[in-house]
Structure formats: C-alpha cells, structure tokens
Amino acid sequence: MSLRGLFTFRGQSSSRTDAVMAVIAFIGFIGLWYAVAFFGIVPQRFLPLPTEVIAALERMIVDGDFLSDIWISVLRVWAAFLLSVVMAIPLGIFMSSYRIVGTLTEPIIDFIRYLPVPALVPLLIIWLGIEEASKIAVLWMGTFFQLVLLVADDAKRVPREFVEIGYTLGAKNRQILRDIVLRAMLPSTIDNLRITLGWCWTYLIIAEIVAANSGIGHAIWSMRRFVKTPEVMAGILTVGIIGLVTDQLIRYAHRRYFRYL
Amino acid sequence: MTNKDAFIAIDGITKIFEPQDRKQKAVKVIDNVSIDIEEGQFVVFLGPSGCGKTTLMRMVGGLETATSGEIRLAGERVTGPDRRKGMVFQAYSSFPWLTVYENIRFGLKYRDDVDKAEKERIARHYMGLVGLTDFAGFYVNRISGGMRQRVAIARTLAAGPDVLLMDEPFGALDAQTREFLQYQLLGINRSERKTVIFVTHDVEEAVFLADRIIMFSARPATIIEEVQVGDHIPGDRTLETKETQAFFHLRNHVLEAMRVQARRTEELERPVVA
C-alpha cells in the first residue's frame, strides 16, 4: 500500500487505501467524541458517550417501537422518491427534446424550485391533512422540481452525434429516446438520483417533526421533550447510517453496471 | 446544371444561416453549388475550415436543410436522414456503453429486411473487414481512437447505406494512425465499392483517397476547382504512391489552390474595425 499518492497534489490512491482511510476517519471521529465526552469537556448531559448512544438505540429498538419508526420513514422516503423519479425522468427528457415543453415548464419549475420547502409544510397540511399524503407531498416538492431540471440537463448533454447516428441507422424518434438518449444519460442520471435521495431524508425529518406520530423524525422530536440526549443522538445516527449504506450500495451498483466508464 | 441520371445530384444549393437575434446579420455559407456524383465514386470535399463543406455533406445526409436548391439520391429528393445515408463522425462516433461488436451490431438494429442470424453474420463480417475481431468484447473507450473510427465505419457499412458520408473521420488521430486508416479505408472501399463523400481540409488525405476532389472556396462555399485524381495518379494506390512524382505534383497543385483560400478565410475572420 503506497501512501505517497495521498499527499501529492491531485495524487491517486487505490480503492483499498481509500477503504482503510475511511475506517481510520470513523475511528478517529468516534475516538475524539469519546474523549470530549469522557473528560467532560462538554457536559455528558449534552454530549453523551458513544456507548450510551448505542445503549439508547438498543433500548429504543427492544423496549420501544423504533424499528417500526425506521420502517415507516424508509417507506415514506422511497414512496416520495419513486414518485419524483417516475415523473421527473419522462418530463425532463421531453423538456430537452421539445422546445415547447421546455419553454413552458422551465420558468414555473425554476420558480417553485426556489421556494423553501419548510415554508410549504403548513400549506400542504391545510390541503392534504396530517396523514401520509402531506408528508409524501413535502418530500415530493423538495425533490421533483430539482430532479426534473437535472434530468433535462443530462438529456441535453447527450452528444448531438449520438442522436444523428440513430437517425442515419433508420431509428424513429421514440427509438432514439429509448435506445440512445436514455441509455447515454443513464450513468449521470443515476448519480443525480443518488444525490436527490439524500435530500429526501432532510425533508422527511422536517415533515415528521412538524406533524407526525410515527417515523424517525417523530421519535427524535418526542425524545427531545424529555431531554433524552442519547436517544436523540441515536435517532440522528440511524438516519446517517441508513443514508451511508444506501449511498454505498448505489455507488457499488453504479460501478458494476457502468463498467465502461 | 445537373444530370438527371446522376446517382447523387446536388442541385443549386444555397444555404443562409438566419441570425439568432436582430443585431446579427444573416450569413451565406454555401452559394449556388451543383455537383453530380456517380455511383461508386469516392468524392472528397476539400476546403478551408468553416467554409460550409460539412454543411453541404450533412444536407446529403438529410441532417441539414438547404435555403434553396435540392439534393436527389437515386432520383429521389432527400428530405431527411435515414438508413440509406450512413454517417461517420469525427467525435462521439460510437456508443461508449456498447462493446466493439455490439456497436457494429447496432448498425443493423433498425433493419427489418434481415433476420437475427443474418444480422449477426453481417456484423461479424464487417468487424472482420475492419480488423477488430480480436477486440469484439472491448468497450470502445478501452480501445484507441483509430480503432474507434474503424468501429464507426464498420457499424455504418453494416447498416447497408447507399452512400457513406464521412465528416473528417480521421481529423483527431495522430499522423501515423491517420495514414494507416486512410490506407485501410482504400482497401475496404475496394471490396465494398460504396459511393463516399469524405470531408477534409487535409490536402494529402484528399489526394491519397479521392477519385475526385472538389475544392471549395472560403465562405460562402463555391466550387473553385475539380480534380479527377485518376487522370494524374493512375492505378491502385498503396502507401508507396505517396512517394511518387505524380502524387507530389498533384498535392502541390491542390495545396497552392487551397493556400489562397486559407488566406481569404483568415481575412474573413478578421474583426472589422469601424
């Protein structure tokens, strides 16, 4: 394992080195946390020991209902995310393929994109109530309008030559979209989906804190009322771990499936 | 005047690019150009960069429309792109998500005149013709730029076009690779006998490849001279042809004509001082 690449400007490192460094970073981070809490640099009431957080997580799962909270949160995220995806990909592609779609939708999407999603929560609750629909809507608002512009950009970046190769081989518009445009943009679109999925979690916690009686956000918020810092941190940690694992899985699939990159 | 029976008739083509906004002026890039091309002829469009030769070739492919005039392929007016007009680009000439074989096979994807087994046979045949059988399973960005252009040529031929349109296909390659591919292209075309329109600004490439060179002026493109290469360099061409007196003479003649046009192009591009 050569370490020189790590210290040279714009150097290279092997994936094994990267993995080892990631583990070192996590150990270092947890070690620092442990030390700060252990020596009381920050009072343990505010910063509990990592072991206490783990113990709290165990209590929440064994004695409480935290597993079903996790489950419902994951369901909400994926339901809203998939809804965004199935709407954003076709619309994004049509926006870049036909000027009429692009010129009509872009200004509105740009406007909505700039609205802060938390500001829409009260309105969405008035419209849709406090059941699942309003939570899905919050997540959808936060991701769809961003994603559709990213997809439109991906489609626009497909080289003109690729499309013209299709035409000169006798392909129809529909075949060019399916066999060439969609296929050419896929790697960068999957990357954009991965990033957007992360945003879903942010909006989920907001939605669950404001109005919910289940989910990770709700669990975190109700523990706060009793100043149960270890439980609050355990909830946050759970979101982080789910995010990290999902992200790594998608990256891995990306590498496997797009081996030509 | 164009001949009614010509295989490809480029008939009085003028192209004016309309300005995007009111401040700009319309630019005439092609000025009343007529060319007859016989079936099986290898025609090179030679001209300074930006002169409109590529635009004219793209019109034959149906990828660009003329402001006035028309183009006919085998007596039929060209109105849009299709499988009869194959195209090889300089960049992005093949699909990175497909292997060498899959790229060539893609050329037959939209053909319904042959069955699956026949498509595979044709794809393998052209993969062999361009000498890439050993690289069948390689993704195209794992192979050299020269090989990538051979993939594009094989894919285009596999589609069974009437005319092969090549837009500076070797322009991005190093000199040695370019020379090798030119030589290979001559060999391929000897067995395929395709009608080819090949666009380049490289004089040596033009003289080496062409049956007929059509030299274009600086913008707007008009034909300044035509050369039947066979009249000057008879017989089959090999890499040694480039060492002959006849080749030198013709190359120098064409080079001199193009030099004048290159100077004119530079003057066109020079900013106007008010």
The pLDDT, as a whole number, for residue B170 is 93
Q: What share of chain A in percent tops pLDDT 90?
A: 73
Q: Average pLDDT of B183-194?
A: 89
In-domain check, residue B149: yes
Q: Is the pLDDT of residue B273 over 60?
A: no
Per-residue pLDDT reduced to its tens digit, A111-126: 998 888 888 888 988 9
In-domain check, residue B21: no
Cβ contact A260–B61 (<8 Å) = no
The three-class DSSP label of residue A18 is: helix
Per-residue pLDDT reduced to its tens digit, A175-208: 999 999 999 999 999 999 999 999 999 899 888 9
In-domain check, residue B99: yes
For residues B94 and B56, what is the distance between their CA atoms, to the nearest angstrom? 23
The pLDDT, as a whole number, for residue A2 is 67
Q: Give me A226's structure tokens.
A: 């009793």
Q: Average pLDDT of A228-250?
A: 93
In-domain check, residue B139: yes
Domain count, chain B: 1
The pLDDT, as a whole number, for residue B4 is 65
CA nearest to A257 within chain B: B97
Point out the residue among B91, B97, B139 whose CB comes nearest to the CB of A183.
B97
Alpha-carbon Rg for chain B, nearest whole angstrom, is: 19
Point out the residue among A161, A167, A259 whose CB comes nearest to the CB of B92.
A161
Classify strands B212-216 and B42-46 as parallel, antiparallel or unpaired.
parallel
User: SS3 sequence, B30-59?
Assistant: EEEEEEEECCCCEEEEECCCCCCHHHHHHH
Q: Report ipTM for this prediction.
A: 0.90
Backbone φ/ψ region at B33: left (φ over 0), alpha (ψ -120 to 50), beta: beta
A-chain residues within 8 Å CB-CB of B141? 260
Question: What is the span of the domain harbouring residue B113?
Answer: 91-160
Q: Average pLDDT of B69-88?
A: 94
In-domain check, residue B121: yes
Point out the residue among A164, A184, A260 whose CB comes nearest to the CB of B87.
A164
- Count interface pairs A-B at CB distance under 8 A: 66
For residues B210 and B42, what is the distance between their CA atoms, to the nearest angstrom? 5
Q: Is the pLDDT of residue B1 over 70?
A: no
Q: Is the pLDDT of residue B5 over 80?
A: no
Helix A66-97 / helix A132-156 crossing angle, nearest 10 deg: 40
Q: Is the pLDDT of residue A1 over 80?
A: no
CA nearest to A158 within chain B: B92
In-domain check, residue B124: yes
Q: Is the pLDDT of residue B274 over 50?
A: no
In-domain check, residue B266: no
In-domain check, residue B156: yes
**Model pTM score:** 0.87
pLDDT averaged over every residue in chain B: 90
